[in-house]
Amino acid sequence: MSAPPRELLVSADDAGTRLDAFVSARAGMSRAAAAKLIAAGSVLVDGRAATKSLRVEDAMRVSVSIPEHESAVPQAEEIPVRVVFEDEHLLVVSKPAGLVVHPAPGHSSGTLVNALLARAGGAPAGGDAERPGIVHRLDAGTSGLMIVAKDEATHAALTDALAARAVTRVYLALVEGIPDTATTTIDAPIGRSTRDRKKMAVVAGGRSAVTEITVLERLPDTALVEARPITGRTSTGALIELDDPLPQDLAAALEAARTRS
């Protein structure tokens, strides 16, 4: 048996991505698992079966049917999470570094979704049963604010706003080395790392990812920068273009850097 199909809409930012990579990223599974579903005919593109190498196009609709034994409704778990804003429609939560956003194959519990389901003040809702209320992602190693819907209408409205780039995303990062200029715009080809397929990197043949970088504070060996993704794609790779690896715990790393100065 299968759970109800997950309906995924291809955005302009996703255009040109291989189908298996698109399903992997959007459905929260490994690329191998996505390829297996495609080969089994469990993934339809605009109502038709497709190959894993298909390059998806803007506005395509991808339907993903996941077998019941591979699709589990997340359970409530008592995990501390800080809510910075809440009304009857949505939550804004502060996700710490190290916390996975939603359950996925190989990581079925201990996620932000599990934590939110245990809240007495209103549980997340809308969208897929496996990731209720979730409309955007943060990597497990990234801390930051996340908007979570509490009903289907709000989930749909937030999803549309993000697709239309009506929501501005701003990241802070402590980087090793200091950029030459106070502000710069990086246009780098981003794709899956050839060394670790779970990570993104600057690779030949990747899709253009434009990020605006502003230096906020200079320290002896590091710099605190603000990164504003323009294309909506992951911005970590843009900083790799500057050869600046990102530490996961920004607050601790920044405090240590300031202590050294």
Predicted confidence (pLDDT) per residue in 218-246, tens digit: 888 888 888 888 876 555 544 444 433 34
Is 139 a known active-site residue? yes
How high is the pLDDT of residue 38? 93
Q: Check whether residue 132 and residue 54 sit in a common domain.
A: no
What does the pLDDT average to over 123-146?
A: 84
Expressed in angstroms, the distance from the first to the final Cα of the chain is 60
pLDDT at residue 141 above 60?
yes
Q: Check whether residue 99 and residue 131 sit in a common domain.
A: yes
Q: Check whether residue 157 and residue 175 sit in a common domain.
A: no
Q: State which of 107, 136, 163 marks the end of a domain.
A: 163
Q: Check whether residue 92 and residue 151 sit in a common domain.
A: yes
pLDDT at residue 85 above 80?
yes
How high is the pLDDT of residue 245? 39
pTM of the predicted protein model: 0.61
Q: Is residue 71 part of a domain?
A: no
Q: Check whether residue 179 and residue 230 sit in a common domain.
A: yes
pLDDT at residue 209 above 90?
no
Q: Is residue 237 part of a domain?
A: yes
pLDDT at residue 41 above 80?
yes
Q: How confident is the model at residue 57 (pLDDT cuts 50, 70, 90)?
A: very high
Q: Is residue 73 part of a domain?
A: no
Q: How confident is the model at residue 123 (pLDDT cuts 50, 70, 90)?
A: confident
87 or 185: which leads in pLDDT: 87
Q: What is the average pLDDT value for the chain, to the nearest integer? A: 80
Q: What percent of the chain has pLDDT over 90?
A: 25
* Whole-angstrom distance, CA of residue 41 vs CA of residue 34: 11
Q: Is residue 197 part of a domain?
A: yes
143 or 73: which leads in pLDDT: 143
Contacts of 101 (CB under 8 A, 6+ apart): 95, 111, 112, 113, 131, 134, 137, 138, 140, 146
pLDDT at residue 42 above 70?
yes
Q: Is residue 206 part of a domain?
A: yes
Q: Check whether residue 90 and residue 152 sit in a common domain.
A: yes
Length of the chain: 261
What does the pLDDT average to over 14-27?
A: 87
CATH label of the domain that carries residue 145: 3.30.2350.10
What does the pLDDT average to over 145-160?
A: 91
Q: Is residue 99 part of a domain?
A: yes
Q: Check whether residue 209 and residue 253 sit in a common domain.
A: yes
- The total number of structural domains that make up the chain: 3
Q: Check whether residue 158 and residue 175 sit in a common domain.
A: no
Q: Check whether residue 193 and residue 255 sit in a common domain.
A: yes
Q: State which of 104, 137, 163 marks the end of a domain.
A: 163
Q: Check whether residue 49 and residue 102 sit in a common domain.
A: no
Q: Check whether residue 175 and residue 256 sit in a common domain.
A: yes
How high is the pLDDT of residue 169? 85
Radius of gyration of the chain (CA): 19
**What sign does the CA torsion over 260, 170, 159, 192 have?**
negative
Q: Is residue 77 part of a domain?
A: no
Q: Which of 14, 20, 128, 139 is catalytic?
A: 139
Contacts of 157 (CB under 8 A, 6+ apart): none
Q: Check whether residue 52 and residue 113 sit in a common domain.
A: no
Nearest 10 degrees: Cα torsion 225, 231, 232, 235: -40
How high is the pLDDT of residue 244? 39
**Most confidently modeled range among 118-132, 158-172, 245-259:** 158-172
What does the pLDDT average to over 96-111?
A: 80
pLDDT at residue 46 above 50?
yes
Q: Is residue 248 part of a domain?
A: yes
Q: State which of 163, 183, 208 marks the end of a domain.
A: 163
CATH label of the domain that carries residue 33: 3.10.290.10
Range of 17's domain?
6-66
How high is the pLDDT of residue 19? 95
